[in-house]
Structure 1
Amino acid sequence: MTPDPAPSPSPSSSPSPPTPVRVLVCDDHAVVRAGLLALLGSAPGIEVVAEAGSGEEALALARRLAPDVALMDLQLGEGIDGVETTRRLRALTPAPYVLVLTTYDTDADVTRAVEAGATGYLLKAERPEDLFTAIHAAAAGRPSLSPPLAARVLTHLRTPRPTLTPREHDILTQLTRGLANRDIARALYISETTVKTHLRRIYDKLGVDTRSGAVALAKEQRLV
C-alpha cells in the first residue's frame, strides 16, 4: 500500500512592513514646507499626509486626517502661534503627538511648548537623521530634545533658575529690547509705577541692581 504523500509545506508568509508614521507639517514658510516634504519623502517609515501654513489650517487638517505626529514651527505669522496650536492639537480625539521644529531656542520657548503638550523640541539646524529619529520617537510617545537643549536642561536642573511671573517675564522681555519704563508701560497697558514695582522684584530675583545687569543675566540664562 502506497503511503499518502506528505502535505506540501505552506509558503512562508513574509512579515508585512510596519505602518509608516503619518505626519502633518505645519510651517508658515512655503519654501521651508517644500524642503521638509522633499526631505521626509526620502525617509523610511514616514509618510507626510498634509501640510499647513497656519495653526488654524493645521487644526482643520488634523481633525480630518488624524495624523500620528504634527511637525510644528513656533512662529506662524498671523493667527495662533505654534504653542497655542500645539495645545489645541493635544486636545483633539485622537490627539497627534507634536514635535516642535524651530529656530527659536530660548528656555522660555522650550518651556512654553512643553507645557502646551509638545513631545519633542528640535532645532532646524539638526541633521536629517536626527529629525527622522525624533519623528519615530514622537510617534511612540517618547520625548526628544536637540542635544544643545538637552545639555542646557540638565544644567538648569542642577542649578535652579529664578522663577518669574508672566508679567515679570513680559517686562524683562521689553527691558532686553532697550525700552524705557514709560515705553514698557505703554506696550503692556500698565502704569509706569507698576513697571517700577515689577522691576524691583525682578532685580531681587535675579540678584542684580541695574537694568544692564538684568538684561545681561536674562540673555546669559536665556530667560527671554
Structure 2
Amino acid sequence: MQIAIVDDHPLFLDGLTALLGRIDESFEIEAFSSGAELLASIDTDTHAPDLIISDLSMKPINGLALLSSLRAKGFNRPFILVSGVDETLTAAELRASGAYAFVPKSADLPTLREVIFSALEAGSATRKSKSRLLSGKTGNRSSEYQVAALTPRQIEIMQIIVDGGTNRDVAGRLNISENTVKSHLRQIFQVLGVNKRTSCISKARSLGLI
C-alpha cells in the first residue's frame, strides 16, 4: 500500500513516517513538506497513493484546500486529516470536507493504526465497487467511498458505553489499556463535537453510528 504524508513541520513528518513503518513494514511511504509538492506529484491516471494523511493547518495550502484540489483532479481515495489537540472537526464538517477521518496529533499508536487500516479497507472496497459498476455488474451505491465518522473499534467502544460500561469495562472486554480507551473517547468526542458521554451517545444515535 502506498501512503502519502503531508506536513510542513519536519519533525512531525519524520515522526509520522517512522510510526507508519512500525504499523506495517510493507507500507510504501512518500513524505511531502507542502500540499503544492504533493499536488505536483500526483497524476490520477498513472500515479496516486492509496491513502493520504495530511496536516490540517499548513501554509500556503491547508489540509482542507489540499483535499478540495485533489478531488478536483479526480482523486477519490481516502484522505485523513490530522492536527493539534486544540483543533477539531465536527462530524458535519468532516462529511462536508470529504475527508475519511480526523485524528488529533495527541492520538496514540493503536488509534492511528485503527483509523489507517479502516481507511485502506474502505478505499479498497470503493475500487472493487467501481470495477463492478464499470463492468456492468451490480454493486454498492456508487464509486464514492462513504465517510466513516467513527472507526470500527470506536463503534465497539460506543456500544459498550451505551450498555453502561465504564472505561475499565471497555478495556477488559476489548483487551486494551484504559489509556487507549480514553484516547479513543477523546477522538470520538472531537469528531462528534461533544464533551459529555450522554451527549456523545445521543449524537452517535442520531447519526446512526450505533
TM-score (norm 2): 0.56
1:105-133 CA deviation, whole Å, 9 max, x = no partner?
Answer: 54557654431210011111111122122
Number of aligned positions between the proteins? 138
Question: Equivalent residue for 1:4?
Answer: none
CA deviations 1:40-59 (Å, max 9, x no partner) are 11222651431111111122
Specify every segment of 5 or more residues in structure 2 that has no aligned partner in the other structure, as ranges. 123-146, 151-183, 204-210
Letter in 2 for 1:53: S
Structure showing greater radius of gyration is: 1
Distance 1:68 1:125, change over 3 A: same
- Residue 73 in structure 1 maps to residue 74 in structure 2: no
Correspondences of 1:1-224 after superposition (within 5 Å):
21-44=1-24, 47-63=27-43, 65-77=47-59, 79-107=60-88, 111-141=92-122, 143-145=148-150, 147-151=185-189, 153=192, 155=199, 158=202
Question: CA contact under 8 A between 1:26 and 1:54: conserved in structure 2?
Answer: yes
The code of the aligned residue for 1:132 comes to R
Distance 1:98 1:67, change over 3 A: same
Identity of aligned residues (%): 23
Segments of 5+ residues of structure 1 without an aligned counterpart are: 1-20, 160-224
Match of 1:8 in 2: none
- The Cα offsets for residues 41-98 of structure 1, whole Å up to 9 and x where unpaired, read as 1222651431111111122223363101100101112x11111111222333342210
Q: Which has the higher contact order (CA 8 A, sep 6+)?
A: 2
For the aligned residue pairs, the C-alpha RMSD in angstroms reads 2.7
Distance verdict in 2 for CA 1:140–1:125, change over 3 Å: same
> Structure 1 length as normaliser, TM-score?
0.53
